[in-house]
Amino acid sequence: MSFTTDLLERRGGCLEIASASPPSFFVGHSGYPRVSIGPMLPHSLDSPLEVHDMDAPEQWLVPGSPASTHKQLMEVVQFRSSLIRTTHPAYVKEKGASDRILGLSQQIAMAEKPVATEIAVEKLHVNVQVDDHAAPNGPSGSLQRLAITENPRVHRKVDYAVSDTDLKASEAISKYLYADGHLPVSDIYRILSAGLLGIEENRKLVPTRWAITATDDTVSKSLIERVKSFPELGEHLLHESSYLGNSFHIIFVPRPWVYEMMECWSPHSIWRLFDRDKSYVIVQDHELSDGRTTYASNITGAYYSARLGVAEYLTSIKRQAAVIVIREVNEQYLMPLGVWVIRQAVRDALARPPRKFSSLKEVLAAIAPGLQVPLRYWLAKSQLLPYIRSQRTLESFLPRAAP
Amino acid sequence: MDFSATLENSRILKGIIEAISFLIDETYVYVYPTGLKLNAIDSSHVAMLLAFLPKELFTEYKCSQDSKIGINVQDLIKILRRSGGKDEIQLQLDKKDKNTLLITMKSDKSTRTFKLKSKEIPGYDAKEEGLLESFEETLKDKFSATIQIEGAVLDEIVKDALIISDLIKVQVLSAEKVMNFTASDESGEVAIEIDLEKGVLDKKVQNDAEGIYSLNFLENIIKIQSITNHFEIALGNNIPMKIKGAITSSAGNPTDGKIVYLLAPRVEEENEDEFGDDFDANDIEEELSSGGGEEDSSGEDDE
């Protein structure tokens, strides 16, 4: 990793940096409920990205854009490692009013444009941390001083949702910030993680990785409620895409809403390097029309990120369907980069024209040649395919209405 | 539009609204000069419920024209649960605001009035009002067996089956004069045989009948025993099962009141034309169990 220091100044035991936070704010999860928080800002402007985009995964793969514009794995690692993550200890119930650094961090978290920020950090750890939920993080340093040197610009809906201390977090997220404010998911979870949403007494800092999944879950759940009132899709659709060694095959079956995700990591990927057993291990989670009451613990956060992409798509076409997402991860996915990869790749697959079929059998026959793991393994693992194949709907017994 | 209806107590209404709450979150209450109707189809379109409360069930009933009131089912349950066993319940459209349902609970000591805003239910198909009737019309010639059974007997069957599986196979054999219930999975099986001569209240069997149904729905259906103590089950071959309960007045007199469930079946896969022979589940199983080398253990090692 190149570590350019054009914005750094060493003074005493501290490194001082004057740059701009994209805005970016991170809450670690270790030690919960005593966590480490702080804004992130670049130590170098030697990045192919605008400062704002360094913490905006929506810009790293713009759905439907040419593949040549999609950020590659090493590019992501490179620009993420040029962000310094500041750390400041905080108890999750701490309020910005009583902890100055937290208060300033919250102002940064709320901003819609980069915020000119000055920091002094000590004990810089120069490394890259990867996480299966959050995007990779670069060097981190203990925050000694934090100053904002301009007035952050705050989106009107953010201002409203943060000021209304009687507004439930779920409503703030899905209605005010997502539906009305059209805020990107990455802005919403940053604000949620900063403990700025919800009913006053329930507000607390939320570790970034949990905030990401909570946001994907909350937004998609509210979209699905609407989706369930739409007419059923008229045909079988197959959407496919591939990004950073992740291939997605997304099947839509004309039926009332149900959802399943299955994934398989290549037995030859570095993650399974030491597995003596090189068999295909498929993991699976699903939900029927009435949703889940438990966490999708096999697939974890990716389940909700993919579900968001799917729910957005069905909302846009005003149809409901039974949806099965198949994800294959090959050797090229050298490290987990966070669930944004899944969210953006699914959105990208759904932004491209689907292949259309008249039966599930045809869809499966079309997928089979492109799969690394043979189709029969997916069929054997799926819980929804047998359900879709066998569970009749009441309407299927009504004489078909004349077209 | 004037609507006002009084029940001696909340038992029937609470039972019906609770049954509906297992299927959906919001629904319309249809009010007619002849009585009150509730309708619900679950979001997977597998189960549907219709309840009709004729005006005879009410101690007072006034309705000047057909109308519908959109309600949040959970809100209404919460309110009804606040009523005491002896509280008289009155439903009324607010004379000042026709979009408000007034729910009044009267006891010797107090009168409590809740106001519930009526709401538009998005995506609600106007056809749904008469949907159950269209199903009954379509299916009526396809039911080949109709059995009257005590609620408590069905309750025991469902509870037995739930130990083993989430699906139950229901079978009526006309020659053997039995009704069989079977639930099975890899862990085991339970088989329950009911003698059609002795074990049921009444029967009309023209032909054998059979179907597989989701126990999760049946488990909720039998909870309406609080308002009806026996069920009429109509079955055919791999068609929806109809379960009907008659609602009697509090004095025990028969009325036109009813609660009807329709439950769509699971149909075993050999009838599935979408997959045909290429995707026979048995073939997959065989391949998995006979395959060797790298690919032989998919599935098992996930746990």
Taking only the tens place, the pLDDT of each residue in A293-346 is: 999 999 999 999 999 999 999 999 999 999 999 999 998 888 889 999 999 999
Residues 6+ apart with CB under 8 A from B179: B147, B170, B171, B172, B173, B193, B194, B196, B199, B200
**Residue of B25, B239, B295, B303 to mutate for A, most A C-beta atoms under 10 A:** B295
Domain span holding position B81: 3-120
Please indicate if any CB of chain A lies within 8 Å of the CB of B285: yes
DSSP state of A175: I
Q: Which of A238, A276, A280, A282 is nearest to A263 (CA)?
A: A282
Same domain? For B185 and B48 the reply is no
User: B301 lies in a domain?
Assistant: no
Q: Is B269 in contact with A389 (Cβ distance < 8 A)? A: yes
Average pLDDT, chain A: 92
The per-residue pLDDT for B272 is 43
CA of B159, closest CA in chain A: separation in Å? 22
Cis geometry, peptide bond prior to residue B122 (ω within 30 degrees of 0): no
Residue B107 has a CB neighbour count (10 Å cut-off) of 13
- Note whether A190 and A25 are within 8 A (CB): yes
User: B214 lies in a domain?
Assistant: yes
Please indicate if any CB of chain A lies within 8 Å of the CB of B274: yes
Same domain? For B116 and B169 the reply is no
Overall average pLDDT of the A27-42 stretch: 95
Token pair, residue A101, equals 């650094």
Residue A260 has a CB neighbour count (10 Å cut-off) of 25
**Secondary structure string (H, E, C) spanning B91-124:** EEECCCCCCEEEEEEECCCCEEEEEEECCCCCCC
Overall average pLDDT of the A361-388 stretch: 94
Of B120, B142, B171, the residue at which a domain comes to its end is B120
Bridge partners (DSSP) listed for residue A147: A118
CA of B64, closest CA in chain A: separation in Å? 31
- Note whether A158 and A180 are within 8 A (CB): no
Please indicate if any CB of chain B lies within 8 Å of the CB of A67: no
CA of A227, closest CA in chain B: separation in Å? 9
Residues 6+ apart with CB under 8 A from A323: A250, A251, A252, A253, A257, A258, A259, A260, A310, A314
Alpha helices in A129-273 (DSSP H): 156-163, 169-171, 185-193, 208-227
Taking only the tens place, the pLDDT of each residue in B232-254 is: 999 999 999 999 998 887 777 88
Same domain? For B9 and B147 the reply is no
CA of B96, closest CA in chain A: separation in Å? 30
Same domain? For B148 and B177 the reply is yes
pLDDT class of A46 with cuts at 50, 70, 90:
low
Domain harbouring B274, CATH code: 3.70.10.10
Percent of chain B, pLDDT > 90?
57
Same domain? For B89 and B163 the reply is no
Q: Is A282 in contact with B48 (Cβ distance < 8 A)? A: no
Same domain? For B175 and B200 the reply is yes
Taking only the tens place, the pLDDT of each residue in B139-158 is: 888 999 999 999 999 999 99
Same domain? For B160 and B112 the reply is no
Q: Which residue of B has its CA nearest to A358?
A: B274
The per-residue pLDDT for A2 is 42
Please indicate if any CB of chain A lies within 8 Å of the CB of B2: no
Same domain? For B55 and B24 the reply is yes
Taking only the tens place, the pLDDT of each residue in B188-211 is: 999 999 999 998 999 999 999 999
The per-residue pLDDT for A5 is 53
Q: Is B122 in contact with A389 (Cβ distance < 8 A)? A: no
Percent of chain A, pLDDT > 90?
77
Taking only the tens place, the pLDDT of each residue in A106-123 is: 999 999 999 999 999 988
pLDDT class of A79 with cuts at 50, 70, 90:
confident
User: B298 lies in a domain?
Assistant: no
Token pair, residue A292, equals 């889940």
Q: Check whether B107 has a pLDDT greater than 50.
A: yes
CA of B127, closest CA in chain A: separation in Å? 12
pLDDT class of A129 with cuts at 50, 70, 90:
confident
**Residue of A376, A381, A384 to mutate for B, most B C-beta atoms under 10 A:** A376
Token pair, residue A376, equals 């029969």
Same domain? For B147 and B40 the reply is no
The per-residue pLDDT for B279 is 52
Of B120, B151, B168, the residue at which a domain comes to its end is B120
The per-residue pLDDT for B137 is 84
Which residues in chain B have their CB less than 8 angstroms from residue A374's CB? 295
Overall average pLDDT of the A121-147 stretch: 87
The per-residue pLDDT for B79 is 94
Please indicate if any CB of chain A lies within 8 Å of the CB of B277: no
pLDDT class of B112 with cuts at 50, 70, 90:
very high
Q: Is B46 in contact with A393 (Cβ distance < 8 A)? A: yes
Q: Is A278 in contact with B294 (Cβ distance < 8 A)? A: yes
Overall average pLDDT of the A153-157 stretch: 97
Q: Is the ipTM of this complex over 0.90?
A: no
Bridge-based pairing of strands B167-173 and B209-214 is antiparallel
Q: Check whether B302 has a pLDDT greater than 70.
A: no
Domain count, chain B: 2
Residue of higher predicted confidence among A8 and A398:
A398
Q: Check whether B76 has a pLDDT greater than 90.
A: yes
Q: Check whether B294 has a pLDDT greater than 80.
A: no
The per-residue pLDDT for B284 is 44
First to last CA, chain B: 61
pLDDT class of A398 with cuts at 50, 70, 90:
confident
**Residue of A323, A397, A400 to mutate for B, most B C-beta atoms under 10 A:** A397
Of B85, B120, B155, the residue at which a domain comes to its end is B120
Taking only the tens place, the pLDDT of each residue in B208-228 is: 999 999 999 999 888 888 788
Sheet holding B60-63, edge to edge: B60-63, B3-7, B88-93, B100-106, B111-117
Q: Which residue has the tokens 């697939």?
A: A299
Please indicate if any CB of chain A lies within 8 Å of the CB of B294: yes
Highest mean pLDDT among A20-24, B64-68, B121-125, B299-303: A20-24
The H or E element spanning position B88 is strand B88-93
CA of A386, closest CA in chain B: separation in Å? 8
Overall average pLDDT of the A189-211 stretch: 97
Same domain? For B108 and B135 the reply is no
- Note whether B285 and B269 are within 8 A (CB): no
Same domain? For B164 and B243 the reply is yes
Residue A203 burial (C-beta neighbours within 10 Å; 0-12, 13-18, 19+) = buried
- Note whether B89 and B105 are within 8 A (CB): yes
Q: Is B298 in contact with A279 (Cβ distance < 8 A)? A: yes
Q: Is B46 in contact with A394 (Cβ distance < 8 A)? A: yes
Q: Check whether B12 has a pLDDT greater than 60.
A: yes
d(CA A121, CA A84): 9
Please indicate if any CB of chain A lies within 8 Å of the CB of B40: no
- The secondary structure of chain A in percent helix, strand, coil, rounded to multiples of 5, reads 35, 25, 40
Overall average pLDDT of the A260-280 stretch: 82
The per-residue pLDDT for B297 is 36
The per-residue pLDDT for A400 is 65
Q: Which residue of A has its CA nearest to B238?
A: A392
The per-residue pLDDT for B39 is 86
d(CA A320, CA A314): 6
**Residue of A232, A279, A282 to mutate for B, most B C-beta atoms under 10 A:** A279
Which residues in chain B have their CB less than 8 angstroms from residue A228's CB? 43, 123
Q: Check whether B274 has a pLDDT greater than 70.
A: no
Q: Which of A253, A192, A217 is nearest to A343 (CA)?
A: A217
Token pair, residue B37, equals 């109707």
Partner-chain residue, chosen from A226, A361, A373, that has the shortest CB–CB distance to B279: A361
Same domain? For B138 and B237 the reply is yes
- Note whether B10 and B18 are within 8 A (CB): no
